[in-house]
Each structure stands twice: as structure tokens, then as C-alpha cells.
Amino acid sequence: MRDLMLETADVFSRSDEQAARRILDLVRVEEKALEAAIKDITRSDLKTSDAVCLVLVMRFYKRIFSHLSNIASTVCLPVDRMDFFDE
């Protein structure tokens, strides 16, 4: 996670569109993996308190990945595709 954060910051500062697209692809894969893991946990025999803790941590990680995706997308997408509205 830390490495991806540092890479995202570097990609953003260099405006490297190709690297930003790689980050977006990686984030999609990681988010899908986290969702699958969350589903597995909800169907597991773990104690409820353990399952809740794990799911909360995974949701937290997924949210961080989403933020990194948002940062990377600013390099690839035009402003009008990022829900930017000039009032």
C-alpha cells in the first residue's frame, strides 16, 4: 500500500499518463480482490467480532485504493470527465 501511495504521488507530480493508467488498472484488481475477500469472510465461520474487524479493515483499504485511483485519474482524464462543474 505504501509503495502504491508513493508511486501515485510520483506519477501525479510527473503527469505520467501511462503510469497513471497502470495504477488505475492495479487499483481495479485490488478492489475486486478485497470485495471477494469480504464476501468470503461474511460466509466464513469466524467469530462475528473477528469478521467485523477484518471487513472494516478491508473496507478502509478499499477506500484508500479509491482515493489513489482518484488521484491517478486526474492525470488521465480531462477535467470535464472528473465531475468538475465550473459554476
**Each residue's pLDDT tens digit, 42-72:** 999 999 999 999 999 999 999 999 999 999 9
Give the pLDDT band (50/70/90) at residue 30: very high
Q: What is the DSSP letter of 44?
A: S
CB-based contact 9:72 (threshold 8 Å): no
Contacts of 16 (CB under 8 A, 6+ apart): 10, 75
Query: Residue 87 above 60 pLDDT?
Result: no
**Cell matching residue 10:** 510520483
What is the maximum alpha-carbon separation in the chain? 52
Given a cut of 80, is residue 85 above it in pLDDT?
no
Give me 19's grid cell: 503510469
* Tens of pLDDT, residues 12-28: 999 999 999 999 999 99
* pLDDT score of 76: 86
Pairwise CA distance, residues 71 & 27, whole Å: 11
* Separation of alpha carbons 48 and 22, rounded Å: 37
Three-state SS for 73? helix
